[in-house]
Structure 1
């Protein structure tokens, strides 16, 4: 059976581009796989929003991220790309981050050149470390891997801080340092989106599309035509869940009854199917029948 890390390397270097949706727990990871997507993104913003109830401003810890990643990996069979923020410290911290997330079940991690604590890539007021320090982090991450197929994705947030030319210079330096894919965060118009791949040839590129964020939305086919391998949709699932939950709660509060809530929630059967109740029952029967036979 092909490993998840090899699966992801094949996707990175394949002939077709793909959408990478974000998950923030085991349930949403499972939903993404069952919807037919080829890989899952463990979104740092989504985990902070859903698990902590706070904005994406670097409040989550490595331990918290690793716990969620292990839950996701346990219930899915497709590669898991983990948002590892800044690596949670310097190059030495980065090595520990790689080891922990690799053991938790990640097939790849994305690291960025922001100052710690970081901010969401589409927030204002970001700061970045030197490219030299980021190169050291990339090299430390590569050296810490146990599996040579474990991918390191390097993101730069310099476009918003120092401009387009600096972001491209940094991205090319991160490519030379050994990153498997590059991610120039938050281009602000179609011209920038189209220009980035022209300056970063021969390496898979990620385009992060945030509904309502700084980057204009394009389709997967449009992104592919411009030179992107991955279209990251990190928080589409989260925001769908927020809206659906809020609507169900509003109806429940308005009516003080569940009579009209059914169109806002999934069926009982759908819920049990998603969470594999039938599989659990089969296992219970199997081990009940076999008990005492050894």
Structure 2
């Protein structure tokens, strides 16, 4: 039987090329980019880092974009930090990330991503045991925590990559209880593979090709979803129980995230600092 990491790798390999073409993905990307860019000060990136074009002129901030996908967070925060490294379990996502960095003439020394499994219960992938994959000031996990088999392990492993006593972890994900309906993934987790009438109506109104792509993505995503959404209390517990005992904060982003163009939910951002 495939491990959870292998299921994630297979699913995201299949999705990599679609990040730039699917309208619902692009809408979600735009919402996240706007939310992150509009909260740089809250995240801890000094506003004085905004205008400078050369990384060497900025206050030193090393960013880890974990479960980086094609690099949305890296592209948004890259202009305001001194160095970016991405890690993802999907080889295809890493290809997209590095291809984008090259196309934008980002030097490998400044922005680069590496494929590997940091979350293997038996131990992190040895290929991730590189000097420049440690001592980060900030790590961001965007719309990935709900795919992790063990979020507690994920927070601990990421914490090991941050600067002791000062490193900050920022998580962006789906807000638990943000809809009157359970999310499709919560229903599936309970054995109920039925869309609500409103969701069925939305899905059936889409063009056949788009509907087929969404159904394929949904079928592929469902086995990878272990924790469909997170509450403020759960995030605070997750941080405190795994070494992030300082400066917990939580906010809900404005607007609704239309997952796959059918399922509406809210996004949150939450952060804490290593104790």
> TM-score, normalising length from structure 2?
0.32
Larger radius of gyration: 1
Pick the structure with more strand per residue. 2
Pick the structure with more helix per residue. 1
